[in-house]
Amino acid sequence: MWDFQPVTDADLARARMDAPFRQQMLTRTLECLLGELSKLQHIPQDTARAGQMREGIELAVKLSDLLRRTAAGSRPAA
């Protein structure tokens, strides 16, 4: 499990130019997010927490879509 570290402007600039780094950064972020969602899943739910879960799930779906697109774009043409 990774500890979440905020993404810096330097990270974003590098990710724009370095596809493997971008994929690694997205993967690490998704792993952190899923870990936090797992923790929230085991805490008694209230309205605010349900909203956090929904928001986290929507973000996880977006991140996984980005990862798929990044992976598809980095594959060599057959």
53-76: per-residue pLDDT in tens?
889 999 999 999 988 988 777 655
pLDDT at 2: 54
Given a contact cutoff of 8 angstroms between Cβ atoms, the answer to whether 2 and 32 are in contact is yes
pLDDT at 14: 94
pLDDT at 36: 87
Q: Between the CA of residue 65 and those of 4, 23, 61, 69, 70, what are the distances in Å? A: 20, 12, 6, 6, 9
11: Cα separation from own chain's centroid: 14
